[in-house]
Amino acid sequence: MAAPVALIQGASRGLGLQFCRHILKSRPAAFLVATCRNPEAAAELRDLAAGQRPGRVTVLRMDVTREEQVRAAADRVAEAFGRLDLLVNSAGMLHPSGRGETRLSDVSAQVLCVALHPGTVDTALSRPYRRSVPSGRLFGAERSVELLMSLVDALDAQKSGRAFSWDGAELPW
Ligand SMILES: NC(=O)c1ccc[n+]([C@@H]2O[C@H](COP(=O)([O-])OP(=O)(O)OC[C@H]3O[C@@H](n4cnc5c(N)ncnc54)[C@H](OP(=O)(O)O)[C@@H]3O)[C@@H](O)[C@H]2O)c1
């Protein structure tokens, strides 16, 4: 069987970068495609990629609000691998001024798709909201990604199309 391929959007920092670390460590055979808006400035991601065997990590420029960049990345993955086993959209656009969601057009009926809430996680994005988080409820990115990946590993068709919190509780939407 061909090695699995994972694509992480928003891989330059925060949860996306941690998803990359987790996959590279826990799935030795997997290939990783890591995307962000400015790969040149993504020093931690570039260091992570440089520490892997050649060809294992592909870093691509992708702003998820730019349809042509999403399309170009999809074409690169199709050409290089011909498959995609895991797509994590961790592009951080929490603020009302942010635009867009990753489009899920062109996905096949065999794709399992869920929305996952990571908890409140110690990243740049959560900084403005920290004061309202009870002590002991601010996760590190490593813990949050471990919890989310165990939900991903337990995905089945019945769960597809639904939203879940880090603890597995279903979220209404
Ligand atoms: N942290 C929390 O407590 C928390 C709670 C609930 C939900 N979430 C969700 O978890 C996800 C990740 O958040 P985080 O905490 O890891 O945020 P973060 O540390 O701020 O990282 C956000 C990532 O998204 C990328 N990004 C931002 N705008 C983008 C765009 N238009 N196109 C592509 N990439 C873009 C950033 O890359 P560049 O700036 O380098 O392009 C960065 O890699 C977000 O969807 C967020 O809403 C987080």
Q: What is the DSSP string of 57-115?
A: EEEEE--TT-HHHHHHHHHHHHHHTS--SEEEE-----STT-------TT--TT----E
CA distance 26 to 23: 5
How far apart, in Å, are the Cα atoms of 136 and each of 119, 149, 165? 12, 21, 17
pLDDT digits (tens, 9 = 90+) for 5-55: 999 999 999 999 999 999 999 999 999 999 999 999 999 999 999 999 999
Amino acid identity of residue 154, one-letter, is: A
Question: Which range, of 28-37, 113-122, 130-139, 145-154, averages the lowest pLDDT?
Answer: 130-139
User: What's the mean pLDDT when you consider all of the chain?
Assistant: 90
The neighbouring-strand residues paired with 32 are 6, 57
Measured CA angle at 85 (ends 32, 122), to 5 deg: 60
Confidence of residue 94 (pLDDT cuts 50, 70, 90): low
Query: How far does the centroid of ligand 1 lie from the alpha carbon of residue 2, in Å?
Result: 30
Confidence of residue 97 (pLDDT cuts 50, 70, 90): very low
| In the predicted structure, residue 105 carries a pLDDT above the cut 80 | no
> Radius of gyration (Cα) for the chain, nearest Å?
16
Question: Which range, of 89-103, 130-144, 150-164, averages the lowest pLDDT?
Answer: 89-103
> What is the pTM for the complete model shown?
0.91
Confidence of residue 98 (pLDDT cuts 50, 70, 90): very low
- CATH numeric code, 5-92+104-167: 3.40.50.720
CA distance 30 to 48: 15
| In the predicted structure, residue 86 carries a pLDDT above the cut 60 | yes
Residue with structure tokens 């690169």?
76
**DSSP single-letter state for residue 7:** E
Structure-model confidence comparison of residues 101 and 80, the more confident one: 80
Largest CA distance in the chain: 48
Residue 92: the pLDDT is 74
Q: Is 148 in the pocket of ligand 1 (CB under 6 A)?
A: no
Residue 125: the pLDDT is 92
Residue with structure tokens 């929305």?
115
User: b or e along 131-163 (b: 16 or more beta carbons within 10 Å of the residue's beta carbon)?
Assistant: eeeeeeeebebeebbebbbebeeeeeeebeeee
Q: Which of 59, 94, 130 for a ligand 1 pocket mutation test, highest count of atoms within 8 Å of Cβ?
A: 94
Q: Is 144 in the pocket of ligand 1 (CB under 6 A)?
A: no
